[in-house]
Structure 1
Amino acid sequence: MSQETAPEPPSPDRIAGVLRGRIRSGELPRHGKLPTQRVLAEQFGVNRTVVRQALGILEREGYLSARGRGAPAVVTHPAQEGPRPAGLEVADRIAVAFQAADVSIDAFTLTTETLASALAGPLIAISAGELTPRSITVRLLLPSPDAPLAFPRLVSDPDDNRPRARLRQLIRTFATSLRHQLTSLAEMRLVPKVHVEIRCVPITPVQKLYLLNGSEVLTAYYQVVPRTVEYEQEQLEIYDVLGLSSKIFQDQGAAFVEETQAWFESLWSTLAEPLTLG
């Protein structure tokens, strides 16, 4: 007779997701008190440490007020409803993702600038011993530096190669720094297992996309704007995109996450090639 395997207890992120849904639906009303940590631990079948971690996630997101010692949390709402700029939202969601024991990030972006900035907080916390993930796996998809991309391009001459040469420099700078910062965690024995892989595809990304721990999708559209940049001591008027200020949309729906993961895998396993950073 086969023995059934007992289901794993829910993670702090999963518990936070359930409570977040109850707050958004009004089941847990604004200014109302949450059940005590003991009651929540019994509801979810976990210990109180896991509950405290889940409540900490919701506090950082603005759904709960700061809790006094032993007092039930009070429900609030995020100070700003709706999508927020990528520079803020990605950093907040990355911080939540790093609460997991095994962290995974799949990203398709133009330069990885936003991701590199968002990782700063968790990396400092790991170095200080405040976070102790068991593993970190990061897969980055970037546009091929030598492909004929739609942007960036010179406003007056689409065939001028200088904007794409500048983009190549940015990609290599940010991707090299990100890879070094992550792999150094393993070298310093702060994280037992770290895997970083960077590939490129001959596609112009029209939006940035992040898959966090296989359970959440963050996406934002790149809006094309004219702007002046400096390259090799010259001022260039180019069509470019501003990623840090683009509005991020979040989705934790299982069907959307699954389809997005399948889309990422289709690019990763077919058109993508290793990116040489030098």
Structure 2
Amino acid sequence: MTRKPTSASGRRPRDVVADTLRERIRTRELRPGTRLPTQRELEAEFSVGRSAVREALAALAQEGLLENVGRGASPTVAEPTHHADAPRSAGVELTDRLHEAFQAEHVTIDAFSLTTETLNNALAWPVRQVMDLQLTPRSVTARVIIPSLGARLALPRLIDDPEDPKPRERLHQIQTTYVNALRNSLGSLSQFGTEVELTVRAVPLTPTHKLYLLNGDEALTGYYQVVKNEDADFHGEQLALYDVLGLTAKLFRSTRGAEARDEQEATFVAESQEFFDSLWTTIAVPFG
């Protein structure tokens, strides 16, 4: 989980920088070994402050896309080192799998997570590809489940005072801002001939894992790691929290289509879908 987005569009300045650089790396406009512009040059290009640039570069380094961040010179684009079947961070894996999912005529996305931050970031590339008419899905149907605004969650919470409501209030603000940004991002596709249906529901549960189901044929799952976050901002106040990491969590991919390795893998995807559907049709209520 991260700080509340502050840009007028519903996206933080660091996300604008990170999303743009991420797309340039994925499309190989920035190739492995290429040195990025200086921080001063990035500040000028994106009209953002130094802290936004530094946070964006740090996020891309965590995803394994940049090397030598924070060592004086400008960072360089990292060489791909993962094997095709190796699990990757959520920010990397979900982006690639969504881009593949958007090749379909009718795209479906089911997501269960603490916030929609990772989903928002991962959709930036395929959404841009639709806008550039490089991807042309006829429809995108997304169902999203996140914790209820009024739920008394186990995480995040203050390290010294588990009953203090401020961490939950902070989370709720982040959730709301990212949900609005998701609606704007997917909604923009209607201008390019794509029918869009997004429904967001909430459940009174604390997610211990994140789940993404794409086109009914593959499941991406990852575990949240509980960490100490002693510099969480909330209306100018610094909070020391037990928080969770989601964007850098490893995602494990399973399929039940032609690529399924065995019956167990295919059954796991089917059970994951049933788990999601069971929440959706029972205790989930409209978010907001």
Name the aligned partner's letter for residue 139 of structure 1. R
Task: Give distance in 2, aligned partners of 1:191 and 1:247.
Answer: 34
Tell me the SS of whatever aligns to 1:129.
Answer: coil
Matching of residue 179 in structure 1 with residue 179 in structure 2: no
User: Which has the bigger relative contact order, CA under 8 A and spacing at least 6?
Assistant: 2
How far residue 191 of structure 1 moved from its aligned partner, in angstroms, is 3.1
* Conservation of the 8 A alpha-carbon contact between 2:233 and 2:239: yes
Does residue 268 of structure 2 align to residue 265 of structure 1?
A: no
Partner of 1:209: 211
- Count of aligned pairs: 197
SS in 1 for 2:110: strand
Match of 1:197 among 196, 199, 208: 199
Where do 1:213-232 residues align within 5 Å? 213-228=215-230, 229-232=232-235
AA aligned opposite 2:169: A
Q: Which runs of 5+ in 1 are unaligned?
A: 1-77
Q: Residue 98 of structure 1 corresponds to which residue in structure 2?
A: 102
Greater radius of gyration (CA): 1
- How big is each residue's C-alpha offset from its partner over 1:232-269, in whole Å with a ceiling of 9 and x where there is no partner? 11110000001111111111132111111111111000
By how many angstroms is 1:111 displaced? Answer: 0.7
Residues in 2 aligned to 1:184 and 1:80: alpha-carbon distance in whole angstroms: 33
Q: Residue 135 of structure 1 aligns with which residue?
A: 139
CA positional deviation for 1:184: 2.3
For residues 35-184 of structure 1, the aligned pairs below 5 Å read 79-81=81-83, 82-184=86-188
In 1, Cα distance between equivalents of 2:272 and 2:117: 22
**Quick one: distance in 2 between partners of 1:182 and 1:110?**
19
1:88-124 Cα deviation digits (max 9, x unpaired): 1111111111111110000001111000000000111
- 3-state secondary structure, aligned to 2:150: coil
Q: Counterpart amino acid of 1:268? A: W
- The whole-number CA distance in structure 1 between the counterparts of 2:234 and 2:193 is 38
Q: Counterpart of 2:236 in structure 1: which amino acid? A: Q
User: How well do the aligned residues superpose, as a CA RMSD in angstroms?
Assistant: 1.0
The 3-state SS of whatever aligns with 1:146 is: coil
Q: Residue type matched to 1:215 in 2?
A: D
Identical aligned residues as a percent = 51
| Contact in 1 for aligned 2:111/2:145 (Cα 8 Å) | yes
If the length of structure 1 is used for normalisation, what is the TM-score?
Answer: 0.69
Shift in Å, 1:179:
1.1
1:222 deviation in Å?
A: 0.4
Report the residue type matching 1:270 in the other structure: T
- Is the CA contact 2:136–2:194 (under 8 Å) kept in the aligned structure 1? no
Instruction: Give the residue type in structure 1 aligned to 2:125.
Output: G
Structure 1 consecutive aligned stretches of length 4 or more whose deviation exceeds 4 Å: none
Partner secondary structure for residue 177 of structure 2: helix
Q: Deviations over 1:184-223 (max 9, x none)?
A: 221x1x1342100000000000001000000000010001
Structure 2 stretches lacking a partner, 5+ long? 1-79, 256-264
Superposition deviation, residue 79 in structure 1? 3.6
Partner SS for 1:244:
coil
